Amino acid sequence: MSVLAFVMMNVKVGTDRDSVARLRKLEGVKEVYEVYAVYDIVALVEAKDMAELNRIVNTEVRKIETVTSTNTIIAEKA
């Protein structure tokens, strides 16, 4: 059973589109949205388990230079 998560991010001012383009290239990132709220971007990430989700968020998403912060919400399909 896979793990779904919404990863909400803040990015450096003016880098929204570049950040979205970079996120869309990452394995496990299924959808990416620019949002107008407390966060700048929300990505839907699917991983095979929690270890893979941790790897994607910590070693892929957070290493994008334009990403300044993340908040991950693990989702269970209702």
Q: Report whether pLDDT(1) > 90.
A: no
**Band of residue 70 on the pLDDT scale cut at 50, 70, 90:** very high
**Domain over 3-75 is classified CATH 3.30.1300.10:** no
pLDDT tens for residues 28-69? Answer: 999 999 999 999 999 999 999 999 999 999 999 999 999 999
> Which residue spans within 23-75 are E strands per DSSP?
29-34, 41-47, 67-75
> Are residues 23 and 43 in contact, defined by beta-carbon separation less than 8 angstroms?
yes
